[in-house]
Amino acid sequence: MGRRQLVAAATAATAAGVVPGLQSAVYAQGSDKPEKEEVRIGFIPLTDCASVVMASVLGFDRKYGVKIIPTKEASWAGVRDKLVNGELDMAHVLYGLVYGVHLGVGMPGNKGKDMAVLMTLNNNGQAITLSKKLADKGAVDGASLAKAMAAEKREYTFAQTFPTGTHAMWLYYWLASVGINPMKDAKVITVPPPQMVANMRVGNMDGYCVGEPWGHRAIMDGIGITAVTTQDIWKDHPEKVLGTTGDFVKKYPNTTRAVMMAVLEASRWIDASLQNKLKMAETVADKAYVNTAVDAINQRILGRYQNGLGKTWDDPNHMKFFNDGAVNFPYLSDGMWFLTQHKRWGLLREHPDYLAVVKQINQVDLYRQVAGAMKINLPKDVMRSSKLIDGVVWDGKEPARYADGFKIKLSAA
């Protein structure tokens, strides 16, 4: 069957009220019944775990014939290890972490494991926090931080959440954009997201990059200020993904599709109304999930920002989970960008075959099947173009040249 026929068959099945909505006629693989009905999905206590959590809480998973078991994890390293050894079936996970595991970065013997990005879970909604002590000395944004570091020579410590992850890349990119080499001019440490605020409170770091609510929480607690949001570094940047192993997709294709549909439906539900966002904030704030005050979540999820120094603003580019389908497509250029930054900062010694690696990991065809059956908008191109905070445009073309073109990077040994 051609793709149009596949989508038409799926649409007809959905219209007829058939659950899970993708039938044998669509896939020509016999029954579309999920091969594995209970799916353990790991998550870290962050606002952007919401679509996985709400898919379970609201029962969208059961609609598609699976039961999602959200599994709270303590660190991204723990998520990585449990994905690789099969303790977790899938995870709400850092985009770059999936790529690092696939290529063996930081893995025992540098041996990788085939991985899969099923869909993007959210855009935007992270932040870089500077300590109140630094802010009191005038360091409130990138330019003033660079000035302060030049004026007072000492060891400056910044934290990210995982070496190949998104927060490390946003932190490095931002520091470099104001002339600070994160590998030479600062000490960078890895701290799990829920531990960021406590570590800043006792003076273990000068700044950190993490997902919400831990940026806003530092402001509420009076220990930090928001120097920059990640959407100001890259508008509508990719952030967390629904990740799994390549083996899981091959062994449980129907289960994979069913989970994707449930999470997509939850994503659409969250972004559908103000009321839904507030209900989501109330749900994920619970101790079973993020374990924080609802007020730490519900402001920034609506785009209501403050920097901790009296400035407030409404940000149209706040965290989004669906945005009429624009969020979730696993653009090849998004995956390639993380690889260019891994090469820039010495996590990869050589240039990989950027496009080939990304085509292996990002499940574009699978996503198109699922989104098409759910009548979710699909982009025409697998690449997209964006201008980042330093004015440099990324469009997925000439990735090796792009990676080598930065003035500040980790020089080859």
Q: How far apart are CA 23 and CA 30, in angstroms?
A: 8
Does any domain span residue 384?
A: no
Q: How far apart are CA 328 and CA 320, in angstroms?
A: 10
Mean pLDDT of 138-163: 98
**Structure confidence by residue, pLDDT tens digits, 247-285:** 999 999 999 999 999 999 999 999 999 999 999 999 999
Among residues 223, 171, 172, which one has the least CA distance to residue 197?
223
Mean pLDDT of 167-172: 98
Does any domain span residue 105?
A: yes
**Structure confidence by residue, pLDDT tens digits, 93-110:** 999 999 999 999 988 888
166-177 vs 142-151: helix crossing angle, rounded to 10: 70
Domain count, the chain: 1
Does any domain span residue 36?
A: yes
Predicted model pTM: 0.92
Confidence band for 31, pLDDT divided at 50, 70 and 90: confident
Mean pLDDT of 113-142: 98
Q: How far apart are CA 306 and CA 299, in angstroms?
A: 9
What pLDDT does residue 203 have? 95
Whether the per-residue pLDDT at 327 is higher than 90: the answer is yes
Confidence band for 30, pLDDT divided at 50, 70 and 90: low
**Structure confidence by residue, pLDDT tens digits, 66-102:** 999 999 999 999 999 999 999 999 999 999 999 999 9
CATH code for the domain in which residue 97 is found: 3.40.190.10
Domain that holds residue 358: 3-124+237-289+320-379
Does any domain span residue 299?
A: no
Does any domain span residue 138?
A: no
Which residue is associated with the tokens 């999820």? 301
Q: How far apart are CA 61 and CA 263, in angstroms?
A: 8
What pLDDT does residue 109 have? 85
Does any domain span residue 34?
A: yes
Q: How far apart are CA 53 and CA 413, in angstroms?
A: 44
Mean pLDDT of 372-383: 97
Does any domain span residue 32?
A: yes
Among residues 200, 171, 203, which one has the least CA distance to residue 186?
171
Give 229-287 as a DSSP string: EHHHHSTT-B-EEEEEEHHHHHH-HHHHHHHHHHHHHHHHHHHT-HHHHHHHHHHHTST
**Structure confidence by residue, pLDDT tens digits, 210-227:** 999 999 999 999 999 999
Does any domain span residue 135?
A: no
Q: How far apart are CA 276 and CA 15, in angstroms?
A: 25
- Please give the structure tokens belonging to residue 267: 């994503």
Confidence band for 146, pLDDT divided at 50, 70 and 90: very high
